[in-house]
Structure 1
Amino acid sequence: MEFAVRTWSAGARLGSLQLAAGLQVETPGLLLLTRKGLPAFIPPDLLQNLHPDARACQVTPLHFLESPNATTVAKAGGLHKLVSLTGFGMVAVARDSLMDESNGEGSSKMGASFETSSGRRVVGPAKYMEVVNAFKPDLWVSLPDEVPSWVAEKRNRLSVDRTLQWLDQCLSLQPAEYGNRCLGVVVGSTSLDERIRSAEQTATRNVAGFSLGGFGLGEDAAQRAVQMEAVLTKLPKEKVRHVSGIGLPGMRVLFTKGNRTQNCVLQM
């Protein structure tokens, strides 16, 4: 994966993302929301007729905990081959109903709880990366501990600490032969200090880019704009950025804007 910024203007960036299969995605660009790797309500034979910037899909690894499971996806040769979308990029994102299920900050059983077809299941970095590695995605987002805007300060700090810990564990489970395809998650809810701490610490890790997590969970638009602007000043300008949960329902954006983060919609 290679990302290149072609031009800057008033804090905004235009770039291109070269994916492993030779596919080039222009940024900013839309990530198509999928269910088990296939965009909802759009037949695969019509995908090529969509906007030329819509050439990447956002897929949730937690949809593959039961069927088809990671073993099935791996035997098929990865998610691109399983769903016959070799001409599209695949970005694995754990964007779902998350809930803390750990027994404490030092617990080895720490994980996030996700709603599945067979009820809630706790998923830690090892299980998460088992599915991600089976996908062979073009990019993947590390497992986050996202919390809503109304949590206490102590819980928010714990969210940042856990997300950094899980990032390190996920990176240690990334196959070396695939290269660096990880987007580290920046969290911190509505605390500007915690957002900045999360961004600074995530930027020290060996990641290909960043995912701005925890938005769309109760903050207002004014808070969101201030937090994003502060976070982006702490992240390397040459790396790709992703955000979800701030547009209209069903929209996901491969985020490469600078200061004007509050306008992260399809018209960017």
Structure 2
Amino acid sequence: MSRPVSFELQHQSKDCGARAGILHTPHGDIKTPVFMPVGTKATVKTMTPEELKDLGAQIILGNTYHLFLRPGMDIMEKAGGLHKFMHWDKPILTDSGGFQVFSLAKPQDMTEEGVTFSSHIDGSLQHISPEVSIQVQQVLGSDIMMAFDECVFYEADWAYTEASMERTLRWLDRCMEAHTHSNQALFGIVQGGFFEDLRDRSLRETTARDLDGYAIGGISVGEPHADFTRILNYTAPKLPEDKPRYNMGIGSPDYLFESVQAGIDMADCVLPTRVARNGLAMTHRGKVTVRNAAYKEDFGPLDPDCDCYTCQNYTRAYIRHLLNVNEILGARLLTIHNLHFLISLMEQMREAIFDDRFIAFKEDFLRAYGEE
């Protein structure tokens, strides 16, 4: 039986594990490695779908938890799914809601059945189980669904992490049982915290399920950079070579480079849109806090090395003015730039992979960015 999503490996850089490929989905092909903008509530904040396409976005994310609460599944079903509802005809990946549960629920709220927690909107009690998560994602109609899992805190001890990891595996089996839409892919999530023996067990058991793709969960949750790279480099190369590999919640240039170098194909994060709303731009010469007084009379482009719409048409002084008078255009212009910056960065990584010079590109870029 053909899979709804398949991965075609095209080239691996001769200097490391970085790889370029094509992810085939029902709503189009995706060139990897790819950065995926996050549209948590059925929109990438301040952006239209047409603008996202102009930036080169190939796939975006929606979130099960938030869409489950608002607008709710009755509306989503009547709308014909998330693609039609938000006027986006390219691929969509939906997060299972597991990370929001991690953020909102207490350990005692989690049972074998699922998780009960208070809505962040009105405080009402809500319940999400593996079955509910899959049912919601099937109504949303995403190309890629994520299995419902528990993401543990960095500080969690071995015993708690082991119990959580084992429960995530049991929940995965329930997700697979509930998955009935053959046109939607299901990705499993490797957990195990920061314990290599638990990562091994989760890897072995999760990949034994022969899913459409695999994600690394439970890193970039506040741990030191050394622990992030240790678990990333321990886990990513052991994922199946013929399936897409996804590192969840990664959006800073240094973490994207580390991920791709380790063999990751897909990454997402709210970072570029969130920091844009706070007045920060990612540029080829480092981070720029545009609100700062230093840019009050700076009539140069946001990033002299960028060809995005914002940098071609607006100055730092003007964007600073917009931000300081709370005009929404300021956040929009910074969002356009930051998304273009990361999407283009992944395209440049892809070129460097084909040229077998990924490490050199990484070192040159991060030196200029100030992250070396």
Category of TM-score, reference length = shorter chain: 0.7 to 0.9
- Summarize deviations over 1:212-255 as a string: whole Å, max 9, x none: 11112132111111211221233211110111223339xx97x9
Larger Rg: 2
Structure 1 residue ranges without an equivalent (≥5): none
Q: Point out the structure with the larger strand share.
A: 1
Q: What is the root-mean-square deviation in Å for CA atoms of aligned residues?
A: 2.6
TM alignment of 1:214-229, pairs within 5 A: 214-229=218-233
Equivalent residue letter for 1:164 = L
TM, length-normalised to structure 1? 0.86
Instruction: Indicate yes or no: 2:128 matched with 1:123.
Output: yes
* Secondary structure class of the residue paired with 1:68: coil
Pick aligned residue for 1:18 from 24, 34, 38: 24
Is the CA contact 1:13–1:256 (under 8 Å) kept in the aligned structure 2? no
Equivalent residue letter for 1:226 = R
Pick aligned residue for 2:50 from 45, 48, 54: 45
**Distance of 2:69 and 2:109 partners within structure 1:** 25
* Secondary structure class of the residue paired with 1:30: strand
**Distance of 1:145 and 1:260 partners within structure 2:** 24
Match in the other structure for 1:4: 8
Residue 76 of structure 1 deviates from its aligned partner by 2.0
TM alignment of 1:61-72, pairs within 5 A: 61-72=64-75
Match in the other structure for 2:281: none
TM, length-normalised to structure 2? 0.63
**Distance of 2:182 and 2:202 partners within structure 1:** 28
Match in the other structure for 1:259: 262
Instruction: Indicate yes or no: 2:201 matched with 1:197.
Output: yes
Match in the other structure for 1:178: 183
Q: 1:201 to 1:160 in 2, by over 3 A?
A: same
Identity percentage over the alignment?
A: 24
After TM superposition, the structure 1 stretch with the greater mean CA deviation from structure 2, 70-79 or 6-15, is 70-79
Equivalent residue letter for 2:50 = D
Structure 2 residue ranges without an equivalent (≥5): 269-341, 350-372
Equivalent residue letter for 2:26 = A
Pick aligned residue for 2:40 from 35, 40, 44: 35
Instruction: Indicate yes or no: 2:221 matched with 1:206.
Output: no
Match in the other structure for 1:80: 83
Poorly superposed stretches of 4+, deviation over 6 Å: none
Residue 115 of structure 1 deviates from its aligned partner by 4.9
Equivalent residue letter for 2:78 = K
**Distance of 1:200 and 1:101 partners within structure 2:** 26
Is the CA contact 2:216–2:236 (under 8 Å) kept in the aligned structure 1? no
**Distance of 2:9 and 2:116 partners within structure 1:** 34
Match in the other structure for 1:111: 115
* Secondary structure class of the residue paired with 1:233: helix
* Secondary structure class of the residue paired with 2:260: coil
Q: 1:67 to 1:246 in 2, by over 3 A?
A: closer
**Distance of 2:182 and 2:50 partners within structure 1:** 32
Equivalent residue letter for 1:170 = C
Equivalent residue letter for 2:202 = S
